[in-house]
Amino acid sequence: MKPIWRLRPRTAIPHLRNSAQSQFTALRYSPVPRTYTTTNVLENLYDVVIVGGGPAGLSLATSLRSSSVTSRLRVALIEGLDLDVGRKWKPSGESYSNRVSSLTPGSVGFLTDIGAWKHVQRNRVQAYHGMQVWDGVSGSRIEFNWDVKNSSTIAYMTENVNLVHGLLSRLEELGGAQLIDKTRVEGISFGEDHGTLDLRTWPVVQITGGRKLAARLLVGADGANSPVRTFAGIESRGWDYGRHGVVATVKTEDMPSVERTAYQRFLPTGPIALLPLPENFATLVWSTTPEIAAQLKKLSPTDFVAMVNSAFRLSHVDIAYMAKMDGGISQEYQWRQSVTPIDSAGVPSTVLEVQEKSIASFPLKMRHADSYISERMALVGDAAHTVHPLAGQGLNQGIGDVQSLIRTLETAVQTGKDIGSTLSLESYYSDQYFKNNLMIGVVDKLHKLYGTAFPPVVAVRSLGLRAVNAMEGLKSMIMKQAAGER
């Protein structure tokens, strides 16, 4: 047991020279331009430093600025890439980005609250109200459909760049947050004791150009290989799925414009999903083996389109065979679809073409950090967890983190606590960790359950799925859960 008085310097809260008022003082943002070469420590003291300018980092910055409680905190955001790409985004109606996320009504509600959703280009966002998910081996399926009178949305398909653009516009409107882009984090260390200002427990981020930012709270929104997480010494555990996600933007046959449906088929190599975008565009996410992913990227556009149509319609044996063919896939598809019984109501509209240069792939992983917090540090989004994309929950989990973290910070500010102490951050971790762990676990088990064509397993999972599909009560419970109702 350490004597209690020894604890005082450890929880050191910096006492600024003029801090006569409360124990907690927000570092006010000064509109006077600063020179970054200054050695003045105070100039580079921030309440919150966010590393990473992706959707999670930007929504945290936006919500910090938009909340009346936290708006007096001094916020900086560091991003390695050029934020102007998102800021000056000029969309064309003829093409859509292949990086699209599905935002649940819960996430959109939060984005509306922080004022970012009104800056998102709504004509490029596609809501969908129905979902069809089926077993690629047995064909048993589950259908989610909100009835017409209660036409709630399951999710909103939004280009990531559209969301980033909306968040940046909102940040600009709010002002106050310091966005430092095209700048890399060179290193993170703890601060020094400056006599009157003890920064020994404060993380100090050194960025390109030698400038050092000291943070009362350092937030890692810096992706799966988070440097902040490494500095915090938090282990991230999990495994690689040995699968790649192939994404592409495609154009389909005309779809009924009112009711939009998302389709997902579980093949033994991984699920394939087609999610609606405005007009007759759709976004494809196909999780498959690295070999098939490489093969898909080599195919001619005609054969790629035939392969996608096959993947939703033909037997998994046909798909496995055709994925190894080097050409003539579209003729093979013509023959096979003529002898395969297809229920046209249960499959997406025929894909007609694939948008040029939109085919890309990335490896799929499952990771979960042991903790989201440590003294003066917190992790949000992919830095804390990476999930298989089959449930489309990756970005929603990140936004859920931000939502929870901002609530935690508001409470800390209101009760006069130090926002960086583990004591204040504890509720963020306890709120989010188990929620995310459950989601990651369920998605992981689904991936494994459907990753086989072994007949007894197929029989049992098909019975189960059919039973769940018959139970309207259970289904609406699942849907409410998935929609992230608040």
Partner 1 sequence: MNSLVLRPVIRRTGLLRDLPKAFAPQFAPFTSLSRPPPNYEGHVPLTVPERGLLAVGSAVISLLNPRRGDLIAALGEATATPYFIYRLRDAMLSSPTGRRILKDRPRINSTTMSMEKLRKLPDGTVGREYVAWLDKEGVSPDTRSQVRYIDDPECAYVMQRYRECHDFYHALTGLPIIVEGEVALKAFEFANTLIPMTGLSMFALARLRAEERRRALTMYFPWAIRNGLQAKEVINIYWEEELETDVEELRKRIGLEKPPDLRKIRAELKAQKKAEKTVRESVEH
Interface residue list for partner 1 (CB under 8 A): 315, 317-318, 320-321, 335, 339-341, 455, 466-467, 469-474, 477
Structure tokens of 78?
């560091």
Q: How far apart are CA 144 and CA 130, in angstroms?
A: 6
Structure tokens of 206?
């050194």
Pick between residue 4 and residue 339 the one whose CB is nearest to partner 1: 339
Q: What is the smallest separation between the CB atom of 315 and partner 1, expressed in angstroms?
A: 7
Pick between residue 176 and residue 346 the one whose CB is nearest to partner 1: 346
Element (H, E) at 78: strand 75-78
Q: What is the smallest separation between the CB atom of 409 and partner 1, expressed in angstroms?
A: 37
Pick between residue 309 and residue 432 the one whose CB is nearest to partner 1: 309
Total count of residues recorded for the chain = 486
Pick between residue 335 and residue 434 the one whose CB is nearest to partner 1: 335
202: Cβ contacts below 8 Å, ≥ 6 apart = 14, 190, 191, 214, 215, 216, 376, 420
Q: What is the smallest separation between the CB atom of 297 and partner 1, expressed in angstroms?
A: 24
Pick between residue 237 and residue 324 the one whose CB is nearest to partner 1: 324
76: Cβ contacts below 8 Å, ≥ 6 apart = 46, 48, 49, 50, 177, 178, 179, 180, 213, 215
Q: What is the smallest separation between the CB atom of 162 and partner 1, expressed in angstroms?
A: 38
Pick between residue 151 and residue 340 the one whose CB is nearest to partner 1: 340
Q: What is the smallest separation between the CB atom of 473 and partner 1, expressed in angstroms?
A: 4
Q: How far apart are CA 174 and CA 343, in angstroms?
A: 51
3-state secondary structure of 303: helix
DSSP 345-414: TTSPPPEEEE-TT--EEEEEEEEEES-SEETTEEE-GGGTEE--GGGS-HHHHHHHHHHHHHHHHHHHHH
C-beta of residue 126 within 8 angstroms of C-beta of residue 276: yes
Pick between residue 335 and residue 362 the one whose CB is nearest to partner 1: 335
